Structure formats: structure tokens, C-alpha cells
């Protein structure tokens, strides 16, 4: 039998560490908090966990500004608490992947501090992107690049040079043309692989290489108004950026492939690459590069059967030619939660549940963002409470609303996120979340938590019988998104998933009794209700 690596069909749960569980009452989630909650995740039925950055960091971008890649920030614990957490996860059968941030460090990183202390043109400065400014006195930035978080992508230092930061000024970009940077990251990967991690999520994987000469960008003609990507850009605009998806990034990932392959246990890496086309994504998952790339198509789609069909077709078009497995993502810590994106209120939650069933019926691996299994919606965070640098830099309302600490139990904040009396780093919406905590959903057969548990359990038991081939099914109604997943062998039952994105119930009686539906009353009298989904056995 051919060997199937664990990640190929894994359901991976994303832990936004600050907001998952706070063991010491400082209001910020930590690694010991995660360890305490691992049994919950094992019981939920996921296969793997992805942890957002917990390294030493001044937290200018909540950990995506790393000051020491080989240590745990005291806010979150220590290397010992990390080891204990990883060991416990492995005991429970959970794989663990960690975030790696290679595009930029923190301005507090010792290399950047050394760069500031050294002269222009020095080897210390060459590990970052320092340039002279424009204008007679060099008082203008070296080019017109804008930070993803708003404002110029350059900040001037005391001696007049400017340094590049595609994100916050506390996140200077590395110069990947300098071989010392590549060597350092290989050593960092090995540090965590030696500790036993199962893989990496690569932050801004498409950003490491910049076009030679750092040419200006034609921003005005290219900005897309209504794109949901964190970069806020249309596909055309993304394609025209001299700092995204440059050919040289692929040499980095070929090297990382060789590093991962030198370890036992199917270690893997998944790219966060916001690139415009299926072909561009496919380049990151060629056989000698990364194992996976996030597929953000679904996360950018509306509640629309036509758009869901396009997502499906485009996704397979991207991965099949390079024999990679697809990934599916409905939400993460950078975007508006699915229930809100799909219209909010009870309908938004029903739709998010239905979309989750569709995602979990598909081959490949699914990434579930913490709190989606509770049906959480985006929270409107008061301006005085907002902490995201996107907000501070004028790049929009910020991403705090999808990062609210998780409600575990109880009828008032902190809802078991931390010890009683502790104050979570972002306020939880008291009245709404009381009924959404893990404890309140635990024994409720109709809760979103119960739905996720059932879907994950069913997925596990069905998986051995299912193949990877998927075909769209035409149910004779443009508002119905339906697909069939082939059986592993012709004599085994296959799976059909039907999602009703329309406003009227649709007949499904020809498909027999559903194996699972997205909510109470989703299927009655042989009809699938609007905003609902069902799994059926075909054949």
C-alpha cells in the first residue's frame, strides 16, 4: 500500500494562543492553558493543531514580530512548558505545527539592534533591507511601497537611512538575498524539529523575495475595493506587487523541503501565500517544495452556490497537476468570522455550520479556526479596546473582532478563559457569549459544538472508504451546491454533500436518509431547508 502522510487528510485546529486559554490569570492565553485544554481538542476529533507565534516578542503584532526565534515569551510560558505541551499533545494523538515568521523579525531582534548600531553599508545592515532615501536630503522613502497595515513601508533611522517593513514598523523585513538569513532559518527550523514539532505554518510565505531594484508600485490603478484578503487587494493588484510571489521564494522552500525530509515522521510545512491564481498557489506545493499551501478561495467567497462551485473547481485545478492535496479554510485570525461574513445573526450561524459540513466532506485537509466549532461571530470591538496594529496604522478597523478570548464556561467574563476575576486582553461580549460557551454547548444535541464533534467523528469513520475524486452534482437548481466524493473502491458507498444557498427548501428525498445534517430541522419531509447542508450516502 502506498504511504499516506498524516497531513494529507488531517483536520487541523488553529489555536490563536493569546485567546485560547489563560492559565495564570494575566488575561493572555498561554501554553499551560493549551495543555489543560488538550483533552477538549482530542475529544473534538481534530488530528492536528497549529499554534500562532509564542516566541519572545514585544507583541507589536501579537507575536508576528519575533525577537528570539528559539525561545518562548514569558507571557506564554517557557521552553519547558512548550515541551510538556507537545509531549501531552502527542500522547493524545495530536500532531502540532508551529508558526514560523521568516519575512520579518521584531525590531527588538538582536540582529536588528546590531543593524541599528552599525553603519550604513555594514554586514549587520545587510541582513535587513536598508536603503538611502529619495530627494535632495534623502528625506523621502526609497520607493512608494505601502505597508499592508497602512502608511509607508519604510521608516527612517537616525543616520538618515530607511528600513523596509511590509507590515508594522516593529517588523523589519529580512534581506533574503543575504545567505546568512537562509542559514539562520534552516537552523531555526532544525531547533523546533529537534524538539519534536510536526511541521510549520509559514507566515507571509510569498513575501520573502523582493523584485530587483525595489521598483515603485502603481497603487492607484490597482487597489481592489472589496477583496477580503488581509492585503486588501484584487488578484490583478496582487500579481503586480514587486514584493509578493517573486520567483526567488521558491529556492527557499526547496531548501526547507530538504530539511523537512531529513527528519522522520512526515514533517510538513504549509504556506500562507496570498497569490492571485491557481497556478501561482500550485508552485508552492510542487513535489520538491512545501507539502501544503492555504487555499484562501473559500474564505473569500460569499454565501453563494455559484461561488462555492468555482472554489471547488479552481482548487482542484491548482493542486491536481502537481499531485498535491487540497486545503480548505473558512476562517482564521486575520479575517471576519464565517458566521458574520455569511450575513450574521441566526442565518449566518446556520450558513457557517452548513459550510463547515461541506468543507469537512472534502478530501484534503481542513483548517478550523478556534471558536468556529462554537459558532462564534465577529465581535464589534470598541475603539478604545482595539489593539491590532492594522487599526493603529490606519489600515481599517483591525482584526481584534475575530480574536476575542474563547468562552469555556460560566455566565460572565472571563467565561473560564482565565481564573475567575481575571480580565481578558480583549473584552468578551457578556450577554451573547453566555450561551455559546463550551460548557453550555457540551450536552446540547443541537449545538454547533455537537455538530463539529459528529462531523469529525463521521469523517474519521468514513475516510477509509472514500477516495479523493470529487465531482460537482447538478441538482437542477442554481442555488444548490452539491458534490459527490467517490468511494475508495467501486463497491463501497460514496458521499454526497448538498448545501442549500437559496431561499426555498429543495427536495433531497431521492438521496435517502441523511447521514448528518447541519442543524435541527435541516431536512424534513424529504426537503433540505435554506441555509442548511446534509451528508448523504450515494449508491
Q: So which residues are the catalytic ones? A: 203, 272
The residue (of 334 and 531) whose beta carbon lies closer to ligand NOJ is: 334
Distance CA(276)–CA(360), nearest Å, equals 25
Interaction with ligand NOJ in 304-343: which residues (CB under 6 A)? 333-334
Provide the minimum distance between the beta carbon of 43 and ligand NOJ in the complex, in angstroms, as a whole number.
27
Q: Give φ, ψ of 459 to 5 degrees.
A: -55, -45
Residue nearest to ligand NOJ (CB): 64
Provide the minimum distance between the beta carbon of 347 and ligand NOJ in the complex, in angstroms, as a whole number.
28
Provide the minimum distance between the beta carbon of 368 and ligand NOJ in the complex, in angstroms, as a whole number.
16
The residue (of 204 and 406) whose beta carbon lies closer to ligand NOJ is: 204
Provide the minimum distance between the beta carbon of 424 and ligand NOJ in the complex, in angstroms, as a whole number.
19
Please identify which residue in 22, 30, 47, 61 interacts with ligand NOJ, judged by CB under 6 A. 61
Name the residue among 63, 66, 83 with its Cα closest to residue 16: 63
3-class DSSP state for residue 140?
Answer: strand
According to the 3-state scheme, what is the secondary structure of 64-123?
CCCCEEEEECCCCCCHHHHHHHHHHHHHCCCEEEEEECCCECCCCCHHHHHHHHCCCCCC
The residue (of 17 and 436) whose beta carbon lies closer to ligand NOJ is: 17
Provide the minimum distance between the beta carbon of 103 and ligand NOJ in the complex, in angstroms, as a whole number.
7
Name the residue among 153, 160, 146 with its Cα closest to residue 104: 153
The residue (of 231 and 447) whose beta carbon lies closer to ligand NOJ is: 231
The answer to whether residue 270 forms part of the interface with ligand NOJ (CB under 6 A) is: no
Distance CA(175)–CA(13), nearest Å, equals 32
Distance CA(403)–CA(385), nearest Å, equals 12
The residue (of 55 and 316) whose beta carbon lies closer to ligand NOJ is: 55
Query: How big is the chain by its Cα radius of gyration, in Å?
Result: 23
Q: How far is CA 112 from CA 10, 173, 303, 355, in A?
A: 38, 10, 44, 44
The answer to whether residue 299 forms part of the interface with ligand NOJ (CB under 6 A) is: no
Q: Are the CB atoms for 36 and 394 separated by under 8 Å?
A: no
Q: Are the CB atoms for 370 and 19 separated by under 8 Å?
A: yes
Distance CA(15)–CA(333), nearest Å, equals 9
Peptide bond into 148 cis (omega under 30): no
Provide the minimum distance between the beta carbon of 140 and ligand NOJ in the complex, in angstroms, as a whole number.
25
Provide the minimum distance between the beta carbon of 263 and ligand NOJ in the complex, in angstroms, as a whole number.
25
The residue (of 375 and 398) whose beta carbon lies closer to ligand NOJ is: 398
Q: What is the CB-side half-sphere exposure of residue 265 using CA atoms within 13 A?
A: 13
Distance CA(355)–CA(349), nearest Å, equals 10
Could you count the other beta carbons within 10 Å of the beta carbon of residue 389?
Answer: 25
Provide the minimum distance between the beta carbon of 274 and ligand NOJ in the complex, in angstroms, as a whole number.
9
The residue (of 230 and 514) whose beta carbon lies closer to ligand NOJ is: 230
The answer to whether residue 204 forms part of the interface with ligand NOJ (CB under 6 A) is: yes
**Helix residue ranges, H only, 398-519:** 430-433, 438-442, 448-462
Provide the minimum distance between the beta carbon of 99 and ligand NOJ in the complex, in angstroms, as a whole number.
8
Q: How far is CA 316 from CA 199, 202, 229, 295, in A?
A: 23, 22, 21, 10
The answer to whether residue 203 forms part of the interface with ligand NOJ (CB under 6 A) is: yes
The residue (of 64 and 483) whose beta carbon lies closer to ligand NOJ is: 64
Distance CA(242)–CA(78), nearest Å, equals 38
Q: Are the CB atoms for 365 and 325 separated by under 8 Å?
A: yes
Could you count the other beta carbons within 10 Å of the beta carbon of residue 479?
Answer: 16
**Site size toward ligand NOJ, by CB under 6 A:** 9
Please identify which residue in 20, 54, 64, 76 interacts with ligand NOJ, judged by CB under 6 A. 64
x/- binding map, residues 74-93, to ligand NOJ, per CB under 6 A? Answer: --------------------
The answer to whether residue 22 forms part of the interface with ligand NOJ (CB under 6 A) is: no
- SS3 helix, strand, coil % of the chain, rounded to 5? 35, 20, 50
The residue (of 204 and 522) whose beta carbon lies closer to ligand NOJ is: 204
Distance CA(3)–CA(327), nearest Å, equals 19
x/- binding map, residues 167-186, to ligand NOJ, per CB under 6 A? Answer: x-------------------
Point out which residues bind ligand NOJ (CB under 6 A).
Answer: 61, 64, 101, 167, 203-204, 272, 333-334
Amino acid at each position: 500500500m502506498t504511504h499516506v502522510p498524516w497531513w494529507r487528510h488531517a483536520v487541523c485546529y488553529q489555536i490563536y494562543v493569546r485567546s485560547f486559554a489563560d492559565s495564570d490569570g494575566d488575561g493572555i492565553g498561554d501554553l499551560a492553558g493549551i495543555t489543560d485544554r488538550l483533552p477538549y481538542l482530542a475529544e473534538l476529533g481534530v488530528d492536528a493543531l497549529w499554534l500562532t507565534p509564542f516566541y519572545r516578542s514585544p507583541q507589536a503584532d501579537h507575536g508576528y514580530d519575533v525577537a528570539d526565534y528559539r525561545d518562548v515569551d514569558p507571557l506564554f510560558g517557557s521552553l519547558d512548558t512548550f515541551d510538556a505541551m507537545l509531549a501531552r499533545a502527542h500522547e493524545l494523538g495530536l500532531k502540532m505545527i508551529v508558526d514560523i515568521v521568516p519575512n520579518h523579525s521584531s525590531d527588538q531582534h538582536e540582529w536588528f539592534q546590531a543593524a541599528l548600531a552599525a553603519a550604513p553599508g555594514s554586514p549587520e545592515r545587510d541582513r535587513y533591507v536598508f536603503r538611502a532615501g529619495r530627494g535632495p536630503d534623502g528625506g523621502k522613502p526609497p520607493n512608494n511601497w505601502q505597508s499592508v497595515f497602512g502608511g509607508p513601508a519604510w521608516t527612517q533611522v537616525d543616520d538618515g537611512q530607511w528600513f523596509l517593513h511590509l507590515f508594522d514598523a516593529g517588523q523589519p523585513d529580512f534581506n533574503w538575498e543575504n545567505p546568512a538569513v537562509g542559514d539562520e532559518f534552516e537552523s531555526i527550523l532544525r531547533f523546533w524539529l529537534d524538539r519534536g514539532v510536526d511541521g510549520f505554518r509559514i507566515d507571509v510565505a510569498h513575501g520573502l523575495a523582493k523584485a530587483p531594484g525595489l521598483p515603485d508600485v502603481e497603487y492607484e490603478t490597482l487597489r481592489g475595493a472589496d477583496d477580503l484578503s488581509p492585503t486588501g487587494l484584487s488578484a490583478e493588484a496582487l500579481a503586480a506587487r514587486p514584493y509578493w510571489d517573486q520567483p526567488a521564494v521558491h529556492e527557499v522552500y526547496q531548501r526547507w523541503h530538504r530539511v523537512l525530509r531529513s527528519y522522520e515522521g512526515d514533517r510538513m510545512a504549509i504556506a500562507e501565500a496570498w497569490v492571485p491564481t491557481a497556478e501561482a498557489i500550485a508552485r508552492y506545493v510542487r513535489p520538491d517544495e512545501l507539502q501544503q499551501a492555504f487555499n484562501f478561495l473559500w474564505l473569500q467567497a460569499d454565501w453563494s452556490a455559484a461561488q462555492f462551485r468555482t472554489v471547488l473547481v479552481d482548487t482542484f485545478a491548482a493542486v491536481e497537476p502537481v499531485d498535491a492535496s487540497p486545503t480548505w479554510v473558512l476562517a482564521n485570525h486575520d479575517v471576519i468570522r464565517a458566521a458574520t461574513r455569511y450575513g450574521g445573526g441566526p442565518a449566518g450561524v446556520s450558513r457557517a455550520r452548513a459550510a463547515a459540513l461541506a468543507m469537512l466532506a472534502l478530501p484534503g485537509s481542513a483548517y478550523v479556526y478556534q471558536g468556529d466549532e462554537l459558532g462564534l461571530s465577529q465581535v464589534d470591538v470598541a475603539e478604545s479596546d482595539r489593539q491590532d496594529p492594522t487599526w493603529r496604522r490606519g489600515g481599517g478597523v483591525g482584526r481584534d473582532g475575530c480574536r476575542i478570548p474563547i468562552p469555556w464556561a460560566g455566565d460572565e467574563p472571563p467565561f473560564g478563559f482565565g481564573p475567575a476575576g481575571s480580565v481578558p486582553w480583549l473584552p468578551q461580549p457578556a450577554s451573547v457569549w453566555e450561551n455559546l460557551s463550551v460548557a453550555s454547548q457540551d450536552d446540547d444535541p443541537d449545538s454547533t459544538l455537537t455538530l463539529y464533534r459528529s462531523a469529525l467523528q463521521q469523517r474519521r469513520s468514513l475516510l477509509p472508504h472514500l477516495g479523493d475524486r470529487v465531482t460537482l452534482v447538478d441538482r437542477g437548481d442554481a442555488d444548490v451546491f452539491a458534490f459527490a466524493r467517490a468511494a475508495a473502491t467501486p463497491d463501497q458507498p460514496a458521499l454526497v454533500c448538498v448545501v442549500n444557498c437559496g431561499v426555498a427548501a429543495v427536495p433531497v428525498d431521492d438521496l435517502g436518509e441523511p447521514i448528518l445534517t447541519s442543524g435541527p430541522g435541516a431536512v424534513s419531509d424529504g426537503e433540505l431547508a435554506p441555509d442548511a447542508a446534509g451528508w448523504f450516502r450515494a449508491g
